[in-house]
Amino acid sequence: MAVRHWSQNITAHSNALDLEPDIFKKQDPRVIAESLKRSAEHSARRRGTPFQSAMSMLTFYINRAGQDLDAQQKKVLEHSKDELRKLFGKEPTRSKVS
């Protein structure tokens, strides 16, 4: 199958992570986050931390797929960011406002 866009080629053949096929089409944010975490932790080619690599790939996909993503799938992917933060223990701390 011919690659339509350069970003599709990067997602399919990333030099940083070996991604599960069609991972960004899944409907469960937790499943997406777990797969990205697994890929990032097992990659010997990534440059940053596993968290940085996983979040970068997810953000890259959301930004590059942009207008081609339907609203529901974009929402799933955005929630995947929250799940990824939870899996890596990077949940933002909430300050108390009086």
Question: pTM of the prediction?
Answer: 0.78
* pLDDT range class, residue 95, cuts 50, 70, 90: low
Domain annotation covers residue 44: yes
Number of domains the chain is built from: 1
Domain annotation covers residue 46: yes
Query: Is 4 strand, coil or helix?
Result: coil
Domain annotation covers residue 1: no
Q: What percent of the chain shows pLDDT beyond 90?
A: 54
- Domain interval for residue 58: 6-87
Which spans in the chain are helix H?
6-12, 29-42, 50-65, 71-87
Q: What is the torsion angle, in degrees rounded to the nearest 10, for the CA atoms of residue 22, residue 79, residue 40 and residue 66?
A: 60
Domain annotation covers residue 98: no
Domain annotation covers residue 94: no
